[in-house]
Structures are given as C-alpha cells and as structure tokens.
Structure 1
Amino acid sequence: MTNRFENKTVVVTGGTSGIGLATAKAFAAEGASVFITGRRREALDAAVKEIGGRVTAVQGDMSKLADIDRLYDAVQQKHSHIDVVFANAGGGEFAPLGAITEEHYQKTFDTNVKGVLFTVQKALPLLRDGGSIVLTSSTTGVSGTPAFSVYSATKAAVRNFARNWILDLKDRRIRVNAISPGVTETAGLNELFGGGDQADGTKSYLAGLIPAGRIGQPEEIAKAVLFLASDEASFVNGVELFVDGGQVQI
C-alpha cells in the first residue's frame, strides 16, 4: 500500500456501502483524511468503524442543498481545503416507460443529477487549485437497459458534466473524470434485483454476458477511482473510465 493521499482531504458522498465505502476505505488506507456522507446514522457509524483511520461521517441527503452545506461546514472545521471530491451518492429503481411517475423521475434526478451538481459546485471554494473531482456514472449511460431509462438518463448527464466542467475549471487546473462501473457486487444491486435467489440468478445471467466472466467487486472500482484522483492521472481529464469487465466494449 502506498501513501499517495497522505495529508490529503477527501470527500466521498454515499460512503456507507458498496463502491462508496470501498473507496473511502482505500483513500483512508493511503493516508487521506476522509469525509463520508450517508442518510442513515446507523450505517454511518458502522462505516466509520470499518473504514478506520482519519474518517469523519456527516449525515445528509445530497439532494438537499442544506445538507451539502452542512457537509462542507464540517470539513472547514478541520481542514482549510479539499484535495479530492468523489461525488458518488446516487441510486435508482426500475420503472418501464408507461409506468414512470413524476415522483420516480424527481427522486432519481434530484439524487443523481442535482445532488452531483451541487456537491461539486459547493465544494469549489474549498477545493484546491490542481485538485481532482471524480463522478460516478454508469455503463447504463451508454447502453440500453429495460425499465431503467430514467436512471440511465441521469448517468448520461453525469458523464456530460465531466466534459463540460473541465472547461469551466481549466484555469484552476482542476481535473474532472467519470468512473462508469458495470455490474458490481453491492447491497444496492441485490436490492435492485429483488434479493435472495432472484438476485443471484440475475447476477449469474449478467456475468455470462461479461467478457471477464464475472461481475465486479467494489474494491476494483475503488482502485480505478484512486487512480483518477491521484497524480498518476495528472494528464487524464474529462474521461469516462469503464470498469466493467468489458461489458460495453462488445
């Protein structure tokens, strides 16, 4: 293990489970002071114990601007600046065209698009020049999925934030990149697929469609996020990095 993020301040939204938790652990293991967010206090407390190191949990819903303000107030109480923002909080549910409700649309876009936008925008006064922003997009942003159009549209929007923000932030030398995981073993995925044997069957089917022959692990996504956030990716800007076992490359 290296110390690429020694004395760095990192914000990870949606850091209580899955990809967010794995990434927060990886940053902490490499010396970072990590701030995580989540909606449920009990999940935050469990995540803090699992992450270890210098981690601070801030309860909040990133679709609510007041909660984002509270996050950055908490950061300012301990640090003068932020080095990395991993805008990861998000989620979605299945809803086929013809059954999409306004509530479904609003909830998904508020969490996945509004939340990402204002998580990043409100970080800018604290984000140091030359810092790094990583956004969580998805393979669904470039490939069709039945009954998943609203979620997929939000992830396409997130990917395009990266394309545009590198122009808005070029004078500050802040890099913005998007990570696009494929099917990844998380509690959220199991819930989306109905849990139990149903989820296992769906994951087994999907694994057969992936050239790597399996679904991904959160730790594998985390490694890619840390690369994009690190100085090793100093000339990587505006990209969408697929970590999907080759799923959308065929």
Structure 2
Amino acid sequence: MTTYDGKKIVITGGSSGIGLATARLFADRGAHVLITGRTASALDTALEHLGTKAIAVRSDATSLKDIRVLADTVQERFGTVDALFVNAGVTASAPFDSTTEEIYDEVFGVNAKGPYFTVQALAPLLREGSGVVLTTSVVNVLGLDALSVYSASKAALRSMTRTLARELLPRKVRVNAVSPGPIDSGILERSSMPADVVEATKDSYRSTIPMQRLGTPEEVASAVAYLAFDATFSTGTEFPVDGGASQL
C-alpha cells in the first residue's frame, strides 16, 4: 500500500462524496489534508472522520475572494503543496428549453470558473513534481437529455486539463482529470426524491453500465491518488472511472 507520510494535499469539495473519500484515503496513509466546502456543519462532520491531520476551510468555489483567502491559508498552514484535487462541483438537470440564465451561471461558476481560478491561485504553491487532478465526468462525451449545461461545464474542464497541463509544464507540475460515471456517493439519498424513485434511478444507471453496477467514491479516490502521485509520465490526460460506460 502506498503511503503519503508528510505529503500536503488540498482538496476542494472535500466534505462529502468523492472528495471526502479521497481525503480519507490520503489521511489514513499519513498525509496532511486541507479540505474545503461551503457548509460549516458538513466540514465539521468530515473532520470527525479524518482525524487530527486534516484541516477544514469554509470556501465558496465561485468566489474569487474566497479563493484568494484559501491560497493564503494554504500558504500559512502548508507552505507548499504536493497535490491539488479540484473536486468542488454541482450538478443540474433541466431540459434545454427550460434552462434559465441562473442555472447556467451557477453551474459554470462552480464547475468551470471556480476550478480555473483555484488552480491559478494555488499554482505558485505547488512543488516541482506535484500533481493537479480535476474532476470531469463521462457526460462530457455523451449526449444525455436534460444535462446540456452540466455536460458543457465538464467538457470545459476537460479542455482546461489539457491547456493547464501545457501551461504548468515549465513548473514541472502535471495536470490530469478523473472522469467518474454514476457513483453511489449518497447524493441521490440526500436529495428530495422518494426512496422508490432513488432506487429506480440507480437501476436505470446500472442498466447502462457494462459492469452492471454503480461505482464507489473509494474507487474514484484510488484513481485520484494514482494521477496525483504515481502517474509521473502522464499529463493532460483524462482517466474514466465509469464501469466502461464511456468506452464500451
């Protein structure tokens, strides 16, 4: 098992789901982890699971002011960073003809603007040889109903993965993306959908996945760890974790 003793890792959107699973993987293997989120109570709960090597910072991914404060906090607490996992994001489902400007601006604000300026603010703190990982999605290569804005925002992140990888080459920093398919992260259970609708939705997802099951946050976390530390000759790539949904 790979250990990360003494490594310093920043994870945006680290209070639940994939972000929390990734933070737990790194913390359990000796790393110092700083997580962000928008809800103080969720961050407090996450810290209870992560232990004494974790730090939580309340931060809005769409706020440039918050991003600057985050960078200052990371510099103060960590000095330099060995890995940055840019995971904060939102989902939104709406038919094309009823998508509003507010939905569009929120989704692109969190999923595209936030990651771009987060990497910009933290790049000066990234150590030589460090890795940046962005969370895209299999929907960036699929044409699915009611996901036009969300899919486009994740496609923007895929493009950023390539361009930022090129821009950060002189600093010897790698930039890659993890692309999850349907992951059983608890997000459906936390929604307002009735239990039977939640299960029907999961069944629908399973039927479209070659491996006939949902993924787990821990499986995505393992891919993130690989891209952040072990994929030392890879940059600009996208690693699908989707049970074959975008490949087969």
- TM above 0.5, yes or no, is yes
Q: For the residues of structure 2 that align with 1:149 and 1:236, how far apart are their CA atoms? A: 30
CA deviations 1:180-237 (Å, max 9, x no partner) are 000001232445683521011111121122111100000000000000011x210111
CA deviations 1:37-92 (Å, max 9, x no partner) are 01111100000111224100000111101111221222222222011110000012
1:2 corresponds to 2:2: yes
Q: Secondary structure at the match of 2:123?
A: coil
Q: Relative to 1, partners in 2 of residues 1:53 and 1:134: Cα closer, same or farther, differing over 3 Å?
A: same
- The equivalent residue for 2:203 is 204
Q: TM-score, normalised by structure 2?
A: 0.96
Q: Secondary structure at the match of 1:16?
A: coil
The worse-fitting range, judged by mean Cα deviation, of 132-141 and 76-85 is 76-85
CA deviations 1:7-66 (Å, max 9, x no partner) are 111000000110000001011112111000011111000001112241000001111011
1:75 corresponds to 2:38: no
Q: Secondary structure at the match of 1:86?
A: strand
Q: For the residues of structure 2 that align with 1:39 and 1:206, how far apart are their CA atoms? A: 28
- The equivalent residue for 1:240 is 238
Q: Relative to 1, partners in 2 of residues 1:195 and 1:14: Cα closer, same or farther, differing over 3 Å?
A: farther
1:29·1:53 contact (CA, 8 Å) conserved in 2? Answer: no
Q: Secondary structure at the match of 2:88?
A: coil
Q: For the residues of structure 1 that align with 2:98 and 2:72, how far apart are their CA atoms? A: 40
Q: For the residues of structure 1 that align with 2:192 and 2:96, how far apart are their CA atoms? A: 18
Q: Secondary structure at the match of 2:124?
A: coil
Q: Secondary structure at the match of 2:97?
A: coil
Q: How many residues align?
A: 248
Indicate the percent of aligned positions where both proteins have the same amino acid. 46
- The equivalent residue for 1:91 is 90
- The equivalent residue for 1:157 is 156
2:15·2:36 contact (CA, 8 Å) conserved in 1? Answer: yes
Q: TM-score, normalised by structure 1?
A: 0.96
Matches within 5 A, 1:168-187: 168-187=167-186
Q: For the residues of structure 2 that align with 1:52 and 1:236, how far apart are their CA atoms? A: 32
The worse-fitting range, judged by mean Cα deviation, of 192-201 and 31-40 is 192-201
Q: CA deviation at 1:156?
A: 0.4
- The equivalent residue for 2:104 is 105
Q: For the residues of structure 2 that align with 1:222 and 1:189, how far apart are their CA atoms? A: 19
- The equivalent residue for 1:249 is 247
Compute the RMSD of aligned alpha carbons.
1.3
1:193·1:202 contact (CA, 8 Å) conserved in 2? Answer: no
